[in-house]
Amino acid sequence: MSKEIKTEAPTASLKRDTINLSQINGIPAHEEKVVEYIKKSFKGISGLKFERDGLGSLAIIKKGTKVNASVISFTAHMDEVGFMITKIEKNGFIKFTPIGGWWGHVVLGKLLTITTQTGKEFVGVVGSKAPHLLETKERVTVMDIKNMHLDIGTKSQKEVAKLGIQVGDMLTPTNEHAYEVANDRVIAKAHDDRAAVAVGMEIIRKLTKIKHEATVIFVASTQEEVGLRGARTSAYKWTPDIGFAIDVTIAHDTPGIEPRDTVLGSGVALSLFDRSVIANKALVRKMESVAKEYKIPYTFDSLTAGGTDSGAIHLTKEGVINMTLSIPSRYIHSHNSMIDLKDLQATVDLVINFIKDFKTEDLNKLVFK
């Protein structure tokens, strides 16, 4: 039996990357700062190859010990949900549209950061018609984002233009800090899916010190929040034999929702299905057996709404053996979501143990015949 790698408390590097990545601003197709952070983090580490695809997804490739070995990839998306400026009004107010999924209730009254083409940042508050002026019907419905505006204090189009702000500039939730709270939990923006990017980085970091047969590829994908686009192009370019997506999922431990096993601190969630994919059943059982062998905490997860990069990965070329590994999260797609660092560590430990024990012949147990 191979030497056991036990699940540990979150490593300092995993915690650091989770916090730092959450603070980077980057909506779909605007993820270059994330790419810069990842590359800088691995500067000087030998044995890794970096490549990009046509949409901008980043791959870190780590060769194994076997020639013509199986290829295992794990994909986490770099982008966060945000907004884009669509119009600058004559009176200096700014209109915007969602890039990714937003619910009006979590937008109104919040702060957004404008990032200009030259990298300058300006903070504004999301406003609308004053509640005192709303009709009764309007008060009891969720306000449409198209009826909101961003107020940065300017008085005219000309004043906005002097600041270098243009139509097409990105808007992201304003969070000056990531907040470390009780029980190894962190509140921040963009945990969807930067927490999983941190997991991917930690996996690669550990693999530089472990022998493994397979070629391993970590893909930090682009544009997931607007249609799994980077996963589609990256899976085509670096087509794996086995491809995991790593993403957040709903933590079923807050008041008012149906309780389930997948909660903060419950470990890595093995996703059975979502609206975009049904997991390869043999791979699910394999990951379950690895979790049991190494005493890694895990649950099973499913989503009837929402999808992950697996939706694109498993449909690549003639089909890819695939599943999603999920990280429980509270308050997804808002200014402040919460994750438990121990769940991230459990995800790292599961993937590392799977890869280090994987033999090329094991692939035959997962392939349809």
The DSSP annotation for 205-237 comes to HHHTTS--SSEEEEEEES-GGGTSHHHHHHHHH
Q: What is d(CA 38, CA 35) in angstroms, rounded to the nearest whole number?
A: 5
Amino acid at 230: G
Q: What is the CA radius of gyration of the chain?
A: 21
CA atoms within 13 A of residue 50's CA, in its CB half-sphere: 16
Q: Which residues are catalytic?
A: 224
Tell me if 349 sits within 8 A of 199, measured CB to CB: no
Amino acid at 151: D
Q: What is the dihedral of CA 135, 140, 141, 144, to 10 degrees?
A: 50
Helix/strand/coil for 331: coil
Tell me if 13 sits within 8 A of 205, measured CB to CB: yes
Cis peptide before 349 (omega within 30 of 0): no
Tell me if 33 sits within 8 A of 323, measured CB to CB: no
